[in-house]
């Protein structure tokens, strides 16, 4: 097993949850906070592959969104380490409001004005009746920063969601939130982040090599 990081450093493995049936639909539908289904069979295999990837690392703590798909992924990752998953409610997926359960084609057809505003500036214009990317960033970024400070000298895992991960990664890449939707986050893709008091740096984004044959 590898050694833990230096005492002034936190290693973060930021993971998106495994696939659900909603992720696998074509066209896929938005789940948000209200559709809280379990991992699909493929998602379970993705979570197992991610668990194997991280099993030899000195993971000390595992945090996850309260959503079932994130919790199930985190439990699988936690098993080799004998850890209990800790729930962080600020990491919950974006509230997509009235667009929950809809695909983007239906949203563009039925909510043309809201769709246009959201596409132009998701940082300020929310999912209809839900949150904007800016709203999500206001709760996610402080939560992750606090965990990075809390766990100096340790390696931790956070299992989040597509929008949750995107808004945090945008800050590390110095991208405006309007560009966050372009950040690719595959189901059970792994981002590696190294943090000290001086800087927090993204070293690997959306690693997929452990998902050979398991990509959506």
For residue range 151-180, list pLDDT tens digits in order.
999 999 999 999 999 999 999 999 999 999
- Whether the link from the prior residue into 27 is cis, omega within 30° of 0, is yes
Q: Set out the domains of the chain in order of their start, with CATH numbers.
A: 10-96+135-211 (3.40.50.1240)
Beta strands in 17-100 (DSSP E): 59-64, 86-87
Which pLDDT tens digit goes with each residue over 33-61? Answer: 999 999 999 999 999 999 999 999 999 99
pLDDT score, position 1: 63
pLDDT score, position 186: 98
C-alpha distances in Å from residue 137, one per residue of 73, 122, 127, 148, 168 = 22, 11, 14, 16, 7
| pLDDT interval class at 2 (50, 70, 90) | confident
CA dihedral 138→23→98→125, nearest 10 degrees, is 40
Q: What is the mean pLDDT of residues 69-97?
A: 98
């Amino acid at each position: 097993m590898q050694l833990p990081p230096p005492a002034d450093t936190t290693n973060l493995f930021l993971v998106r949850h495994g696939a659900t049936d909603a992720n696998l639909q074509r066209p896929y539908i938005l789940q948000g906070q209200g559709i809280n289904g379990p991992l699909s069979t493929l998602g379970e295999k993705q979570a197992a592959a991610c668990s194997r990837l991280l099993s030899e690392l000195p993971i000390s703590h595992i945090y996850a969104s309260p959503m079932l798909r994130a919790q199930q992924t985190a439990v699988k990752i936690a098993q080799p380490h004998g850890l209990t998953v800790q729930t962080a409610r600020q990491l919950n997926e974006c509230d997509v409001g009235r667009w929950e359960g809809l695909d983007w084609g239906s949203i563009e057809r039925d909510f043309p004005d809201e769709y246009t505003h959201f596409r132009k500036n998701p940082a300020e214009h929310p999912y209809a009746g839900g949150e904007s990317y800016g709203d999500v960033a206001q709760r996610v970024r402080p939560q992750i920063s606090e965990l990075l400070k809390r766990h100096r000298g340790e390696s931790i895992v956070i299992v989040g969601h597509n929008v949750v991960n995107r808004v945090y990664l945008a800050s590390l890449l110095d991208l405006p939130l309007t560009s966050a939707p372009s950040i690719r986050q595959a189901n059970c893709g792994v981002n590696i982040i190294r943090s000290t008091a001086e800087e927090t740096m993204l070293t690997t984004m959306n690693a997929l090599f452990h998902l050979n044959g398991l990509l959506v």
